[in-house]
Structure 1
Amino acid sequence: MKIFTLLRVSGRRRGAWLHDGVRRLVTSASALKVCVVGGGPAGFYTAQGLIKARQDMEVDIYERLPVPFGLVRFGVAPDHPEVKNVISTFTQTAQHTRCSFYGSVNVGQDVTVEELQHAYHAVVLSYGAEGNRRMGVPGEDLAGVYSAKDFVGWYNGLPANSQLSPNLDSDTAVILGHGNVALDVARLLLSPVDILKKTDITQNALDALAESRVRRVLLVGRRGPIQVACSVKELREMVNLPGTRPEMVTAEFEGVAEALKEVPRPRKRLTELMLKTALETPGEKEQERRRKATRVWCLRFFRSPLAVLPSPDDPNRVASIRLAVNRLEGSGEGARAVPTGEVEDVNCGLIITSIGYKSLPIDSSVPFDPRKAIVPNSMGRVQQAAGLYCSGWLKTGPTGVIATTMNNSFDTARTLLEDIDSGTLDVSAAKSGSQGIGALFEKRGVKPVTFSDWEKIDKEETKRGQAKGKPREKLLDVEEMLRVART
């Protein structure tokens, strides 16, 4: 019986078949070559969808940082390790013989999108949303005001945010937004340090939170309880968070119980939990727990930011936020917040804006809609750009959870495959793929980090974490990552 064995060579997909002792390279001129720009969930799911669909498909993933996994590594809350289990799936994709990962490659600078298009049959842009949406109000640049994206990046070890050093000296923090990220930030601010020190939170964030004086967190939203964007799981975690108690304004739930008849089941469960938390008298055990609580959180509704107000002692630092009081026009998901003319000032020394991430243009050759902050596309096909596709938040805007991104990315993979089958995407000419791009990198002094290089970083982080009783201690500096990867 003939035995065929697939080998991985030099940490790359250029595998080889062993047939009767004769070595033969898998890669052929007829292979379909696709590159994916962005090594986060969208990029890996797109690559997975393509590789599984066709045996003649080779996919290269290019990532700006030396480390893969994007928001799974840098966005998921440290106390949600189960969400990070998808990393094992992404690792299987990266280690597939027809997939290669190239980190520390800045597309748009190290290599242009047009150069990638020349080397590959198709290019899929999946680089996510690394910009911040701004409030657009006076004072938002004062010290003590942070975007949730940057704050999350700080406690999750994103190199760009590792030096953030947020001021946690005030009693009250205001978070603008009612989405899952807003609740993640609130939970991290109020969690007992004993819980956090068993997670992969960065040591500098853990040290800062251990000294934090924040005891009260207000989560402020412009609309009402029926419109909150968080999941019931996230809200339940807040309700049950040790050492904390909720303080709701009962008047803000007027008429909500009656409106429940019209809402879908997931929304109904979420709203019922809010109503129970805000209006029902808890049982004796829960009352006792709340009495002992030293920290407080509150969902506030019908409020929009008007201005961030400075401290009289330090005009560069935040002292309070002025909120417009709103009423709703319409009902359900489509209800609009309309200012009543009434305002309210809230004293606080920390403001975190969780009003959305946004994608940024990567290359002047790629169409971009600055208003929607997406690449204009139809089912993932970039408009007026043959052979160019997009997936993830760059395709839809920053919405949904990892499962949403998975489906979105598989859809883009299907679109690309349909275009191959229909002849819309011309794959008749041979393409050089990473071989051609590698020659450009050679000339330009670009040294990509392979997946086996990343595994050295992973091993070092795990070792440092074990020494502290944590799953990992992330490297925060890109240069240090590169040193470890190339050791």
Structure 2
Amino acid sequence: MPHVVTQSCCADASCVVACPVNCIHPAPGEPGFGTTEMLFVDPATCVGCSACVTACPVGAIKPDTALTPAELPFLELNAQYYQQNPHEDRTPLALVPKQRRLRRPGPFRVAVIGAGPAGLYTADELLRHPEIETVDVIDRLRTPYGLVRHGVAPDHGSTKRVTELFAAIESQPGFRYRLGVDVGTDVTLAQLRSEYHAVVYAVGASHDKQLGIPGEHLNGSLGATDLVGWYNGHPDRRELTVPLHHERAVVIGNGNVALDVARMLTRDPQWLAEHTDIAPHALNQLRHSTIREVRIIGRRGPANAAFTVPELLGLKQATHVDIVVEADPATLAGTDRHSRILRELAERPAPTDPATRRIVLEFHAAPVEILGDDRTAAVEIARTGTDGVPTGSTRVVDAGLVVRAIGFRGSATTDLPTDPVTGIARHDRGRIEPGLYVAGWVKRGPRGFIGTNKTCAQETVESILDDLDAGLPAPTAQPRRRGVDLDGWRRLDTAETARGAAEGRPRTKISDPHEQAWVQEPGESPRAPRTKRAWGVVPA
């Protein structure tokens, strides 16, 4: 029976290597690998052996007979991909390239700053080479996994299963965590470069782009990064004030993050409590929310929307909310997948229960001003033309919460040469200079998917290996023991899952750094602020 990929992929490529008949594409080395929304199984050549099912680290592959009604559209997506991208000319077996060996014997050690997907994939690629003895992954937060922990929507539990792959990476010999260490405060880049052969920045892009309109900084006008971090338990956002007392919220931007925000604001809080790891403080506030409608506005038409197909399909299957598409029917007549799915959403009958919450997808609309005295009360919205430029016609929509989800920019750091507008580092194939490198969003900008970080990491690691072979200077000092190690993270992970089990939830996150410290390091007080310790007094 043919098998089907049922969600956006991590692009780990384990399934590609496991397949004995090379029926999963795009494969490594083929156009689109690492940047495509998902991989596809060729129904004409799949032999139904299920090798890919056991190899997939996120459980995304199923036989066609096991698909739920909500997953059936993925069967059509697989077939359509091979109609448009035939692969008859491919070799019948997946080829694994011969592992590169360094000309210098080592041992070498590398520091990776950032414990998100980019940092962990980089560590994994480095540790595939026996000459690299140690990789220390450093992060400002006391928890790893970056955007997977603090950015993926809580109701996307299947996507979060990529943490099982990360757990395998961090279990490798030579991998070490140094969590709760702020580079620039607790330790300097100069210190790290004296202790390691190479240092890699994988710090992501943590700032929202600005709209540049009046009223943007009113209370109740938030960036998506702040709101997403709030409901995901990011320590920096747990005290965020989120006004939920109005009947309408407006989300500006038409990408996946906008859909995530809209779903979370319209989900039944009891369902969130039973099925997700949403932060307890956010769950408690959402129980008292009066929001009935979330309006997503985008300045261009449906065919130009940045929603991915898997996310639109998920919205199509949502039964907890009414979906309204506000667009000229002529703009939904296209044959592309986005237009077709949006057209089907527009034709869906309205729910019979008038109390059903609603998500409105409005196209050809752009914000002009956020209105209010000291806090958000409404948004002035302009009608736009096919080019996304306002036509001059405007209207005012009442809203107590406005969320901008128009993209991200990098975090400027004095340690890296970055573009002042985008925050992206200036580099050559991940190399800032010999011994200093970048990976992830700080390297390529905020684009791609979780799995895109794998191919990005591979390129950076190749540059590191080239420089090690060319003769990077040896460190002049031993790495010092800093921060929370892997055992400390595992203690917190165990505590969170145990609390979740006691409450009938997948996980109950601990977001207070002082309580995290108490769990991770016995003897710390969960109440008193943690005193700043003198990092680096014990050689590793």
TM-score by length of 1: 0.82
Q: Among 405, 409, 430, which residue is 1:358 paired with? A: 409
Which residues in structure 2 correspond to 1:75-224 (within 5 Å)?
A: 75-198=151-274, 199-224=276-301
Contact 2:439 2:456 in 1 (8 A): yes
Q: RMSD in angstroms over aligned alpha carbons?
A: 2.0
Q: Which residue of 1 aligns with 2:502?
A: 467
Which residues in structure 2 correspond to 1:209-358 (within 5 Å)?
A: 209-251=286-328, 253-258=329-334, 260=335, 268-278=336-346, 280=347, 282=348, 287=349, 289=351, 294-310=356-372, 315-329=373-387, 337-358=388-409
2:209 and 2:170 mapped to 1: Cα distance? 32
Query: Greater CA deviation, 348-357 or 337-346?
Result: 337-346
> Once the two structures are aligned, what percentage of the paired residues are identical?
37
Residue 177 of structure 1 deviates from its aligned partner by 0.9
Q: SS of 2:419's equivalent? A: coil
Q: Which residue of 2 aligns with 1:10?
A: none
The aligned amino acid for 2:267 is S
2:168 and 2:327 mapped to 1: Cα distance? 50
Consecutive unaligned residues in structure 2, runs of 5 or more: 1-104, 523-540
Residue 104 of structure 1 deviates from its aligned partner by 0.7
1:111 and 1:237 mapped to 2: Cα distance? 44
Q: Deviations over 1:180-207 (max 9, x none)?
A: 1110110011112232112111112112
Contact 1:114 1:365 in 2 (8 A): no
Query: Greater CA deviation, 97-106 or 397-406?
Result: 397-406
Q: Which residue of 2 aligns with 1:403?
A: 451
Decide whether aligned partners of structure 1 residues 250 and 300 sit closer, same or farther in structure 2, where only a CA change above 3 A counts: closer
Residue 92 of structure 1 deviates from its aligned partner by 2.0
Q: SS of 1:402's equivalent? A: coil
Residue 339 of structure 1 deviates from its aligned partner by 2.0
Q: SS of 1:322's equivalent? A: strand
2:396 and 2:299 mapped to 1: Cα distance? 15
Q: Among 426, 430, 441, which residue is 2:474 paired with? A: 430
Residue 288 of structure 1 deviates from its aligned partner by 7.1
1:288 and 1:359 mapped to 2: Cα distance? 41
2:234 and 2:121 mapped to 1: Cα distance? 22
Contact 1:179 1:230 in 2 (8 A): yes
The aligned amino acid for 1:463 is A
Contact 1:244 1:290 in 2 (8 A): no
Structure with greater helix share of residues: 1
Query: Greater CA deviation, 110-119 or 41-50?
Result: 110-119
Q: SS of 2:386's equivalent? A: strand
1:291 and 1:448 mapped to 2: Cα distance? 53
Contact 1:50 1:57 in 2 (8 A): no
Decide whether aligned partners of structure 1 residues 365 and 146 sit closer, same or farther in structure 2, where only a CA change above 3 A counts: closer
Residue 151 of structure 1 deviates from its aligned partner by 0.6
The aligned amino acid for 2:203 is Y
1:171 and 1:299 mapped to 2: Cα distance? 17
The aligned amino acid for 2:475 is K
Residue 97 of structure 1 deviates from its aligned partner by 1.4
Residue 407 of structure 1 deviates from its aligned partner by 2.0
Q: Which residue of 2 aligns with 1:22?
A: none
Which residues in structure 2 correspond to 1:45-56 (within 5 Å)?
A: 45-56=121-132
Q: SS of 1:217's equivalent? A: strand
Q: SS of 1:65's equivalent? A: coil
Residue 436 of structure 1 deviates from its aligned partner by 3.5
Residue 45 of structure 1 deviates from its aligned partner by 0.3
2:331 and 2:227 mapped to 1: Cα distance? 35
Residue 289 of structure 1 deviates from its aligned partner by 4.2
Higher relative contact order (CA 8 A, sep 6+): 1
2:419 and 2:442 mapped to 1: Cα distance? 10
Q: Deviations over 1:336-384 (max 9, x none)?
A: x22212222211111111112221123x2321111121111122112xx
Q: Which residue of 2 aligns with 1:454?
A: 489
Aligned length: 418
Which residues in structure 2 correspond to 1:25-40 (within 5 Å)?
A: 30-40=106-116
Contact 2:111 2:198 in 1 (8 A): yes
1:76 and 1:478 mapped to 2: Cα distance? 20
Q: SS of 2:111's equivalent? A: strand
Structure with greater strand share of residues: 1
Contact 1:57 1:98 in 2 (8 A): yes
Residue 256 of structure 1 deviates from its aligned partner by 4.2
Contact 1:243 1:293 in 2 (8 A): no
Q: SS of 2:507's equivalent? A: coil
Q: Among 404, 414, 419, which residue is 1:369 paired with? A: 419
Contact 2:254 2:306 in 1 (8 A): yes
Consecutive unaligned residues in structure 1, runs of 5 or more: 1-28, 261-267, 330-336, 439-446
Decide whether aligned partners of structure 1 residues 430 and 379 sit closer, same or farther in structure 2, where only a CA change above 3 A counts: closer
2:227 and 2:158 mapped to 1: Cα distance? 21
Tell me whether 1:420 sits opposite 2:468 in the alignment. yes
Residue 461 of structure 1 deviates from its aligned partner by 1.0
Contact 1:102 1:448 in 2 (8 A): yes
Q: Which residue of 1 aligns with 2:428?
A: 378
Tell me whether 1:394 sits opposite 2:442 in the alignment. yes
1:114 and 1:69 mapped to 2: Cα distance? 25
Contact 1:58 1:99 in 2 (8 A): yes
Residue 420 of structure 1 deviates from its aligned partner by 2.9
Q: SS of 2:243's equivalent? A: coil
Q: Which residue of 1 aligns with 2:40?
A: none
Contact 1:66 1:103 in 2 (8 A): yes
Q: Deviations over 1:59-111 (max 9, x none)?
A: 11111011111111111111111111121222222221111110011011111
Decide whether aligned partners of structure 1 residues 206 and 151 sit closer, same or farther in structure 2, where only a CA change above 3 A counts: same
TM-score by length of 2: 0.74
